Amino acid sequence: MLPSTPLNRAQAQKGSRGDKGTGSSAAFLPLGGMSALCDPPGVAGHPGSTPSPKPAAASPSLSSQELAQEIKAFLSGVDPLHGNKLTLKEHARCAILLLRSLPPARSAVLDHLRGVFDEYVCTYLLDLESSEGGLGSIRSQGPNLDDVVQEIQAVLSEFVRMNPKAWAGLVSAWSIDLMGQLSSKYAGRHGVPHASSLNELLQLWMSCKATRTLMEIYTQCLSSMISTCPDACVDALLDTSVQHSPHFDWVVAHIGSSFPNTIINRVLSCGLKDFCMHGTASADLLLFPSATAADKRVPKIASVVGILGHLASRHSESIKQELLRMFHGSLGPTRDQQQKATVPFLLQLAVMSPTLLGTISAELVDSLKPGVLNQLHQHFASLPREDLENMVSIVVHLICQTSGGAYRTLQFLINTAMPASVITTPGLAVHDSVREACDRVIQLLLLNLQKLVYNRGSASLAEAPPRPVPFLDELKGHVRELCVETLRLERKRFLWQHQLLVLLSVYCTPSCASEALFFLLTLAKSQEELSLATQLHAVLSSCMSDLLPATVKKCVCQIHAGGLSEQHMAQLFQNLALIMQRESEGPASMGHQLGEAVAAHLYDFGQLLLHCNPEVAQVAALLLSVCPMPKAIRPAHLLFLIRSAVHHFFLVLRCKCPTGISYGSRLLCCLSGASPTAGKAILQYLVEGALHPGNAELFGGLPEPPAVGNDPAALEGTKVSLLDINRRFMAAVNFSGSVWSVFHAGVIGRGLKPPHAPYQREPEEVSHNVQTFLGLLLRCCGAEHCGPEPSQHAAVSPEAAKTVAVVLVETVCPDITNSELAWPPEEHTRNTVERDIQIGRAFRDNPLLFQLLSLVAAGRPALCYCSVLLRGLLATLMAHWEASRENDTTSSPWHLQASCALVACMGEGHLLPPVLSNMHEIFDQLAPFEVHLLLLSVWDYMRDNSPLPQKFTFNAGTGLFFRDFSRDTDIGKYLCVLHSVLHKNIDRLGLLSGRFQI
């Protein structure tokens, strides 16, 4: 027996006609029935119309009696022929038959079909749960409704295709509402992803045939109406989204991806219409921006925000263009109610959706040209003052929530608020009211940001994290631009941006604070500009104790990373030094704190003393010279600083830079006071540097011989083997002072060494260099004051003078120790001829040595440690005067000067008694042999009275060491030669005889 179906019942009642049923709907509808279905309600088809092909699910025509039985079966759910209850599939097919045959019953039929789709979804989810629980072989006992769902889709699709005007709106509303109900009903079922997992949720529902069929039906309806009037379909989408969001979001995402432009355009249009109906064209709706308040008054606006928010990830450009089109379209001369409400509507959308705000903010600001601003002013000038204030408050709120394009928005407001320039084109000028409005917006913006920043509090484990401010978050990447604009010092402009820098520094502490202060210190070029940095520190120092250390650390990092140009680096150092000099009153002052911060990075800044750019090196020396020395510094770092500072001093001395010399000298003096070891090291490096062949010509000495350059002839002479040279001279070791000593005067076969014409500096320049160097050396030696004759009037520390003496000996005679203090007999000079010649040549090539000996002599008894040099120089001079055959000593000016300087220096150092040390005053009046005899008597005295430090006594009254010559050997026997010479030249030297009496 066949099951009871609408088709079987129709065949049983019409058996006399000879119609054969097949158990499936495969016949054609009669002409009248089809026209009734395809026309709008209440409109009948033409009797003479040609029948159209019917869908596969069609059924034969029904008589009135048969139709009444089908209605009875549909309403009761019982088969009228057999009396048994209809199954779900039978009941569904009965509903489909009624939908084909009785259009007025479509509402009831569609409502019943909801249960079919509900049952299908329930069965689908049960099967899904069974498969996930390991019961994949057990299938739920529910009916298989695939064929019924397919029939429903075929019927509804045919209706929409034949008469979209009559069926598309109805079917789309039914299908979209049913998808919303199903999504919400089964949202909490096991296996259904959370609404936030949009992709997983979309994949689940689109794999279900029932919901996929509903989606296809709605898509067909929207496609059929897209060219005429899709508002009905979009309204249904909006209404359902309001009721069933967020579980309905997967439907919005799929439909929006299928029809992005249409959905965006129509959703905004429908939302604006609803806004006008439930809201107002004024701004009173936006008095307190809140999504909740908007939902109560404008139900669909939240749905509009949700749909556009889903589409913004892939179609932000289309959304942006549509929003801009709506905005500019509302500024026309003739405005209807919707155009007047467009700007408030867009503002409300932006308040409710940060995504939409970020999508349009940057481009909207760019489109606000003077003409557009003037149009806005004209349209809103008629609004009540309260409404205008509300709108300004909304604008300020939106700016605070703006992330993308925040800096462009800020510059737009500032540029617009600035007074017009005299060169501004009249057509490009904005109305004064617009300027005043922008001025007020900026002031309110700063006030609102201040409240947001200072009311954030500090995040803790028990409290929620501080609320972010997107506007300031975006400005974090534009700190440098803000500082540049601030330093322009343009009327209100720099005040606004300086205040914004303060807020940004507090909001993003400590990174933005140190960054802002760093840029201000780097870019400031005048006292007024630099004062902005001190003002910023004054405001931030109360809440940031480590601001200056962090700023200095950032400076060091930027220098190491190469992020600063040489010009900016020099400006930064100059500004830091200026602040340390000017703002150093008290331990709480900025200069004092900055000095401590810079002192922690002395080694990093010291490396810049060797910078290739002289300007950078000079300002680095200035910075280090005004920086307080730390209490503890690593010896390696201190030594590096000293060597770099000494190198820098000689470099600026060579460049004839008075400013650099002043900075370098000040730095070396500061370093010498860091520790006794540092002072000794500075003296050592200064003396070694002054006597170096590369620097000797600065002080009147012979310059360093030229190195072999790129001259081909010179290079040709160097192409020899070192082994061949050693073999040629038959010795690999230099036995100094022996018969194996070799003096190279040239290369055999190539002639003598080419003569070298050294560069001679002007005497005034040499004298200035000497005085500068000796003045620095005296300050580093701890001299009380430096006069034009430092050797006569300066009190030099004995320890410092000893250091200089030791360095002199090591530099001139590296192979001699300082233990040779005693003077040997005069005959001993025969064994030290080579060494004595070397010492004499050193004094001849470096006139500075005599000045250094005078400085050492001032720090008694340090000259004792130069005994080797004194002995060698004296022996050289004695040999010269003994061999000289000239009539007077003026024929040998250097030797005369050297002899006078040597004896005077020994007298200054208390190595000779005053009677003997005064003899240098008459050398220029004597013959060479007489000078030789006098120097020989000096040698004899030194031999009998060796220059030992133990012979000196400290005088507490004067703070100096002195020597009591009365304890030495009788001085009279060393004056016999002197008196004989005076007697012989009594006519010329008689007046001086009193200076040589004991």
Taking only the tens place, the pLDDT of each residue in 524-574 is: 999 999 999 999 999 988 888 889 999 999 999 999 999 899 999 999 999
Cα dihedral across residues 136, 141, 144, 149: positive or negative = negative
3-state helix, strand and coil shares in percent for the chain, rounded to the nearest 5: 70, 0, 30
Distance CA 939, CA 867 (A): 12
**Per-residue pLDDT for 739 more than 60?**
no
Burial 417-440 (b: 16+ CB within 10 A, else e): bbeeeeeeeeeeebeeebbebbbe
Computed from CA positions of residues 387, 388, 389, 394, in that sequence, does the dihedral angle turn out positive or negative? positive
Give CA–CA dist 926/890, Å, rounded.
9
Dist CA 941 CA 935 (whole Å)? 10
Strand extents, DSSP E, 731-822: 746-747, 751-752
The residue-averaged pLDDT of 737-747 equals 52
Q: How far is CA 952 from the centre of its chain?
A: 64
CA distance 861 to 951: 9
- Spatial CA neighbour of 400 closest among 447, 330, 466: 447
- φ, ψ dihedrals at 963, nearest 5°: -120, 130
Can you give the pLDDT at residue 318? 85
Rounded distance between C-alpha atoms, residue 936 and residue 848, angstroms: 25
Amino acid at the residue 200: E
What pLDDT, on the 0 to 100 scale, is given for residue 445? 92
DSSP string, 6-41: HHHHHHHHTGGGTPPP-SS--S---HHHHHHHHSPT
Cis ω before 466 (30° cut-off from 0): no
Token duo for residue 635: 């010896």
pLDDT in the model for residue 82: 75
pLDDT at 680 over 80: yes
* Residue found under tokens 């509303």: 173
CB 833 within 8 A of CB 736: no
At 606-650, the pLDDT tens digits run 999 999 999 999 999 999 999 888 888 888 999 999 999 999 999
Residue 802, both tokens: 């000893």
Q: State pLDDT tens for residues 949-964.
A: 888 888 887 778 878 7
DSSP state of 822: S
pLDDT tens for residues 237-263?
A: 778 877 887 788 788 778 877 888 877
| Side-chain-facing half-sphere of 947: CA atoms under 13 Å | 31
Higher pLDDT, 422 or 108: 108
**Distance, CA of 19 to CA of 613 (rounded, Å):** 108
Question: What is the rounded distance in angstroms from the CA atom of residue 296 to the CA atom of residue 22?
Answer: 56
Q: Give pLDDT, residue 360.
A: 79
Length of the chain: 998
d(Cα 897, Cα 110) in Å, to the nearest integer?
128
Q: Provide the whole-model pTM.
A: 0.72
- The kind and range of the H/E element at 961 are strand 960-963
Nearest to 90 by CA among 63, 111, 64, 116: 116
What is the rounded distance in angstroms from the CA atom of residue 438 to the CA atom of residue 443?
Answer: 9
CA–CA–CA angle 360, 362, 363 (5° rounding)? 70
The structure tokens 């040589």 sit at 996
Say if strands 960-963 and 751-752 run parallel, antiparallel, or are unpaired.
Answer: unpaired
C-alpha to C-alpha distance for 779 and 84, rounded to whole angstroms: 123
Peptide bond preceding 510: is omega within 30 degrees of 0, i.e. cis?
yes
Give mean pLDDT, residues 881-891: 88
Q: What is the pLDDT of residues 318-355, one digit of tens each?
A: 888 888 888 888 887 766 777 788 888 888 888 888 88
* Cα–Cα nearest to 175, from 145, 206, 208, 216: 216
The secondary structure element, H or E, covering residue 928 is helix 928-944
Q: For residue 135, what pLDDT is reported?
A: 47
**Confidence check: pLDDT of 25 > 70:** no
pLDDT, residue 900, reads 93
The partner residues of 963 in beta bridges, in order of sequence, read 952
Give CA–CA dist 88/115, Å, rounded: 9
Distance CA 631, CA 627 (A): 12
Share of the chain above pLDDT 70, in %: 81
Percentage of the chain with pLDDT > 90? Answer: 19
Asked if pLDDT for residue 55 goes beyond 70, the answer is: no
Q: Residues 911, 914, 920, CA angle at the centre, nearest 5°?
A: 90
Q: Token pair of 842, please?
A: 């050193």
| pLDDT grade for 12, boundaries at 50, 70 and 90 | very low
Distances (CA, A) of 597 to 357, 560, 624, 807: 43, 17, 12, 36
Nearest to 885 by CA among 925, 929, 931, 924: 929
CB 996 within 8 A of CB 975: yes
Burial class of residue 525 in the structure, from the number of CB atoms within 10 Å of its CB (0-12 exposed, 13-18 middle, 19+ buried): exposed
Distances (CA, A) of 370 to 72, 377, 410, 726: 73, 10, 16, 89
What whole-number distance in Å separates Cα of residue 70 and Cα of residue 361? 61
Q: Are 938 and 912 in contact (CB under 8 A)?
A: yes
The predicted structure's pLDDT at residue 728 = 56
